[in-house]
């Protein structure tokens, strides 16, 4: 739970700093806005995927099979 709270706080702080940095110009840079949102979303997704390795794209099935084989050999 602490990891998720810190991740949310860091995301909010980064969004605040990015918005504050872009507030000085007259026009909004859509490339920077979309790029920032994409990088932040990918980062959060990868962290969440690594937190639950048996559910997402990052899988540890082969490691699980190795552990089962090791357990069977110990019997």
Q: What is the domain range of residue 60?
A: 2-74
The closest alpha carbon to 4, from 47, 35, 43, belongs to 47
pTM, two decimal places: 0.57
How many domains are there within the chain?
1
**Would the CA dihedral through 61, 62, 65, 70 be positive or negative?**
negative
**Has residue 9 got a pLDDT over 90?**
no
The predicted-structure confidence for 19-69, as pLDDT tens digits, reads as follows: 887 788 788 778 877 888 888 888 888 888 888 877 777 777 777 788 889
Q: Is the pLDDT of residue 72 over 90?
A: yes
């Amino acid at each position: 739970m602490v990891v998720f709270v810190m991740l949310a706080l860091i995301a909010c702080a980064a969004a605040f700093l990015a918005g504050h940095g872009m507030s000085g110009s007259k026009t909004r840079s859509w490339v920077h806005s979309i790029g920032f949102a994409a990088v932040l979303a990918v980062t959060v997704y990868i962290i969440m995927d690594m937190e639950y390795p048996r559910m997402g794209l990052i899988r540890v099935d082969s490691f699980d099979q190795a552990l089962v084989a090791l357990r069977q050999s110990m019997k």
